[in-house]
Amino acid sequence: MRGRILVMATGKCPLLHAARLVKQTGWRLFGSWRRLLILGCIVLLVMVYLHVNLNSTFFVESRPWESKEKCGVGSAGRRHLMNITNQVSQILDEMHIVHWLFYGTLWEMRRLKYPLMSGNSVDIGILANRAFTDKTWRKFLAPFKSAGFIVSGNKERLFIKGSMNFRRNPFKDLVVKVYTFYNCNGIVQRTGLWSWLFFINYKKYHSFPSSFLAPALPKVRFGRVDIPVPRGGLEILRYIYPTNWNENITSHCYFTKPLLD
């Protein structure tokens, strides 16, 4: 009887009305939690993005100061890596493409006065000037393939990462890494899609004033040939390795100069 009076007064069944209230409240709570979850994911992604961008060595593959236990490659591998580096430099010279030793290799040459090759690689930077951009991908690779080089990656890798790897048998794990740069209003910076997606990191740790590449570049002896290096001595290391350019060296490997020939 009391239920009938309540239904007559409100025009609704109390049980159905309560169920609707619970359902509506639940949806509102679920919507709130969903918004909080989305907001949490966005905050997490922003934190990860900032961590990646503010880490000076996140996109640096060559960190010679970290190789505490490795004394570089063996003598046969060293000669091989020296030879292919010399050939890559000579081919770039013949194509009139500006290039220089860079990243970990430059760190080793400036700090140690010899290449340790602890990362099983040599790093070279090239300037994407007219001598480079006027060539098709096939025309650029032709002299390297004629010299027996195996090119890791393709035109898409160059577009995404702004780099390419050159290797040759029988030491396929020893690599000459070539990174492409361009001059934008007096600032030399990396090419590639990654340099735009992670622009904070690339602007902060992979860019430097073009005055370091003013012609003619000085050269250092590297194997049988002289290869260009940026001007300014150690100064450029402050741009690419701001927290590690003067890292203390403690491993005994660094104090035993290996044979270069």
Model confidence pLDDT, tens digit, residues 60-87: 666 665 655 455 567 788 888 889 999 9
Same domain, residue pair 26 and 87: no
Which one is predicted more confidently, 12 or 35? Answer: 35
Same domain, residue pair 37 and 90: no
Which residues form the domain of 153?
A: 64-255
Q: Which amino acid is at 161?
A: K
What is the tally of structural domains in the chain? 2
- Which tens digits make up the pLDDT trace of 101-113? 999 889 888 887 7
Token pair 């390419």 in the structure block, residue = 164
CATH number at residue 76: 3.30.460
Same domain, residue pair 153 and 218: yes
Same domain, residue pair 124 and 230: yes
**DSSP of 106-145:** HHHHHHTSS---TTSEEEEEEE-SHHHHTS-HHHHHHHHH
**DSSP of 69-93:** S---S-HHHHHHHHHHHHHHHHHHH
Same domain, residue pair 111 and 204: yes
Same domain, residue pair 105 and 134: yes
Residue 49 above 50 pLDDT? yes
Same domain, residue pair 127 and 6: no
211 part of a folded domain: yes
pTM over 0.85: no
